Chains A and B, each alone.
Chain A
Amino acid sequence: MIGSRLRKIFRDVWARKSRALMASAAIFVGVLGVVTLLSAGDLLTSQLKQDISEEDLAMQAVFVSAPGGAELDNETYLRALEETPGITRVEGRAVQPLAWKLPSEAEFEDGFVLAAWEPFEEIAIQPMRLAGEGRYPSTGQQEIAVEMRMAERYGLSVGDQIVLRSAAGDPEGDAWTITALVFMPYASFGSMGMPVPSDASLFATFEDARTLGGFTGFNTLYARYTDYPTAQAQADALYAAIAQETPYITVFSYTDDPAESFYITQTEEMTSMLSMLGIIAMIVAGLLVLNVINSIVGEDKRQIGVMKSLGATRWDNFVIYAGIAVTFGLLGAIPGVLLGSYLGVLMAQAIDETLLTYIEGFSLSGSAIMVGLVMGLAIPFLAALVPVFLGTRVTILQAMTDVGISADYGKSRWSRVLTAMPLPTNTKQAVTNVLRKKGRLALTWLTLTLAAGAFMGIYGMFVSINDTIGDVFDSFNAQMTVTPNERQDFEHVRALALGGVATIEAVDPSIGLSVELDGYVSPENGTSQLQLTGFDPTTDSMELEIRAGTAWQDDPAREGLVLTQGVANALDKGVGDTATLVAQGQAVDVEIIGIASFIVDQGFMEWQELARLVGSVDAQGEPVPTSMMVRLSDPDPTAVEVDEVIDELDEVLLANGIAATQVNQVKFAEDIAQMITMFGAVFQIAAIVMAIIGAIGLLSTLSMSVFERLREIGIMRSIGAGSVTIASQFLTEGLLVGLSAWLVAIPLAYLIAGGLLESMDVGMEGLGFDSSALWIGLVGMIVITVLASLGPSLSAARKTVSEILRYQ
């Protein structure tokens, strides 16, 4: 009994090779997508959970700016900050740019030196750890440690020497010895909160780092509290303590719940979203299997009846046809799991840096494999349930007397309308044929609609993100920002830059930091800290899009605050109202003089007013900017050209004992765009998977249509229909299905884009759906449907009368 059933299953699958291939291919693509995405996510999340300890994570990170040239009693400051209620520990970090090179190289590379106030072994918050042999560097011995990813990239090992160029030392640099390779699982941020790449990170004691980097103070303070709710409640108290107890100025800050660390949650959110798309692709593949099984059961109606007459029970028939579906699943799932596991590792390794982790070697995700196998088998089985259940219900009598067309064929209202329409006969036939098998039509159409909707939604969303972020960068006219490690005399630095680098056209002062805004709650971190940018309105360094108020249009020296629309809405205030800023422990009322369009919550002030507000002043009480915006004579330089200017300016500043972090804004914008493109590509892969499955579905449907209508084609041929006439009928069918699916996919695309933005919790204003996606979707749909229809159309057109008659 089992023998006959298995035989029938495998023989039927083999006899319908092309359909089996299509159904299996759809399952393969779906399983491949799911396993790849789940594997990557699982590997990344597992690695992060391995590397990151909840007890070690900072609950609050405050990026600070140190006064230039001052003697800093960092130990006293840290102990004073630990008096803040609820705090259990505060640690200070310095992350500064450092030029380095291999002894054999002529050019220096851009790197960063990371140092903690505490000795290496005593670092308790977000510590690094030794990777392999070696020991931490000692002070004064010209010893350095490198991050293992930097070592891997440049082929460095313990005992090697590299050349480091210190701020006040020999421009040719000095040789330092690598005493250890370290693994730093936590993100490091330099001045202005810029992330530092792992493959450019070096570690030194604080004293050595000060010598190398030419700085005296921290740029990051990490704090841990008794618990996270306390951290949230006391965050502002820490900012006040920093202002009152230290000479540091808070530039930027965030709080993070270690139990839901952004390291892990961002990875989990991204992978769960991608996995959801992968699962949708699997479901779409299941629809295709449903379609195929439905047609097979329909074709085999008579055979089902015969088997019943031979003693097969309904269960026997159910097992056979469900078994065919499961066989499709098996044929697709096994290669899908194998290839998906491999690609998952590659994907994890490709994006591990972006997600602040490191995937080494090759390992399999057991859970992803299990999910892939289960889904690869369960989805086709579930998809086949209904058609098999219904199809095997047929009695012997029904099976033996079925003639294929119902008695009321051609009598429906639609049929009568179609007959009356002035369309070519060929087109009428195509439309009639599309409507003939409504169930199969619905499945194919649903598949294509989902695929088109997902593709257009994802594409439209990411184009919008790219455009919106492009607008942000367009607000900044400066191609570079220079942030001295410690606050410097602005005019002095400006003179050095203008005099020392020919291609620099202008150097404008700026100050960027976060200040407490009374009544405001940041959607990102829940604190009342608002990022403020101070700039010189008399220059062209920034171009804000002012929606309300006049800001500095009439008076560049005007005092006041420009808020972005999002902040104004949150405060329920407008132009002319007063906002209360709290800085240095004091509340200051500031007039709102404008509302600007900007994608993230921000505030803008005239830089000198802001500098005085936060205490960024020199000994004479004159305002000091924390950074400078540099414009080049070429208004549209490439990233490489800006890098060259940075190198040149670096030489000039270092020669004058000034160490600074310089940001290539052009490259930064390109990197962001590239990162968005990369993420978008990952999402688009999921959408393309669905589009492929949709195409396979259409190909399968049209192929079955050709098969079922062979006699009709034979008759058409015998009465003189040419190949073009026959082929065009199937092409028309395909296009009708595709175009109608595209139309319905349009609102679906908007919904998907909105849903994805909502789930990503981006919090940017102005993001939405770029309608160019609709036209690209239309073109794509036409291409897919034409390609999918081509094969069956040509197959139908090639059939000769004698072939068909012989077949029949």
Chain B
Amino acid sequence: MAAVKSILNESRDIERAVALIQLGARLQVLEYETSLSYERLLRLYKEVAGKSPSKGQLPFSTDWFLTWQPNIHASLFLNIHEYLSKSSEIEEIDAVIKAFRLYSEQMTASAIEPLLSITRAWRLVKFVDSGMLTLTKCSCCGGHFVTEPYENARHFVCGLCQPPARAGKGAASGGLRLH
């Protein structure tokens, strides 16, 4: 399918790329999700964002998603993502874009700094697709949280039902607090 050059597909690709750039996605995400050439993406990026894309590798580790505060953000995003992809038939990248917008909206509404970037959110979905991370049901509240795939579901308790000792003590403003 990808080999077929169609103006319609291209216009959809450009539309998606623009949406992703506006949300702050890294160039690698655009390269992966659209069939536009690197040169065209670079030009598009400069046109939409008004600057050159940041360079360097993408974050590749699953650890970040498992630390206390990022885990809560990642879990909210992934729950919204699951909801969207289960309730309507949309392509995965569109589900990521829409879920990320809904997640950001909630962060703004509750005046919490959005820890998850669109690039991280996209990475998270890829990790889940490849079985490196999954959603596990908390045995206490019944909510679904991002965990490693071999987490024991019978004994798993999420970071909100049982926050770790040092949770919520960070000095950063806009972070989550326990009290």
Do they bind each other?
no
Binding site for A on B (CB under 8 A): none
